[in-house]
Amino acid sequence: MRGFGPGDSFLADCPARLAVELIADKWTVVVLAGLSKGPVRHGELIELIGGISRKVLTQTLRRLKAHGLVRRHAYAEAPPRVEYELTPLGATLIDPIHILTEWARANGDAVLDALDADSEPVAHHG
């Protein structure tokens, strides 16, 4: 267990705290993962992610754009085409997110098992 050390708290008012709260959103990690392979269209993300509504996807992308992690490129075509891609800053988040999702892939079942064990506290100890 590495821990964060005494001066490492980041639990107060430093910008790191803000950055963590920025990406620790229900959809942000998934959206960034969806953008990790290159420019993707709005509709592609909708289908790729699965479960996110257009409204929330738009909001998430706008927030990421405002924070400099995502760039929006709207083509003046018909039907309209809008592509989103990671900025260089956003690209630096891919490795951390990749590590996180690797953890999730490796431990997702363990989490489900724990959830299972917890939801049946019916001690039939006989």
Partner DNA sequence: CAGATTAGGTTTCCGATAGGAACCAGCAGG
Partner DNA sequence: CCTGCTGGTTCCTATCGGAAACCTAATCTG
Binding site for a second copy (CB under 8 A): 1-5, 9-30, 33-34, 36-38, 48-50, 65-69, 86, 89, 91-105, 107-115, 117-119
Integer Cα distance of 45 and 31 in angstroms: 7
Apex CA 89: angle with CA 4 and CA 38, to 5°?
120
Q: Which of 2, 26, 105, 124 binds DNA (CB under 7 A)?
A: 26
CA angle 95, 97, 99 (to 5 degrees): 70
Residue 32 Cα to chain centre, angstroms = 6
Minimum CB separation from a second copy for residue 126, in Å?
A: 25
Q: How far is the CB of 105 from a second copy (least distance, A)?
A: 4
User: Which residues of the shown chain bind DNA in the complex (CB under 7 A)?
Assistant: 25-27, 41-43, 51-56, 58-59, 61, 72, 74, 78-82
